[in-house]
């Protein structure tokens, strides 16, 4: 099982991670990007690779 985390101080809400996630784990609103379905995370780290701010980590739990 994997747990993605978003550093809210680094995140600029560009939406790249939301768009690339194959499992729809991430979502965003007008104010911030959120982990909305953490149990569905595949651990593929696609979100990490596209984040220009390096604001995402994925931890194996």
Give per-residue pLDDT as tens, 7-51: 999 999 999 999 999 999 999 988 899 999 999 999 999 999 999
In the chain, the domains with their CATH numbers are: 2-60 (3.30.70.20)
Task: Name 2's bridge partners.
Answer: 60
Residue with tokens 């596209």: 50
User: Is the CB of residue 5 less than 8 Å from the CB of residue 23?
Assistant: no
Kindly state the tokens that stand for 16: 């790249």
Report how far residue 12's alpha carbon sits from residue 56's, in angstroms, rounded to the nearest whole number: 11
Q: 54: closest CA among 3, 16, 1, 2? A: 16
Position 29 scores a pLDDT of: 87
């Amino acid at each position: 099982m994997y747990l993605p985390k978003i550093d809210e101080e680094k995140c600029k809400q560009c939406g790249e991670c939301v768009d690339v996630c194959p499992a729809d784990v991430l979502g965003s609103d007008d104010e911030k990007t959120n982990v909305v379905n953490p149990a569905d995370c595949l651990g593929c780290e696609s979100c990490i690779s596209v984040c220009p701010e390096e604001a995402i980590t994925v931890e194996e739990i």
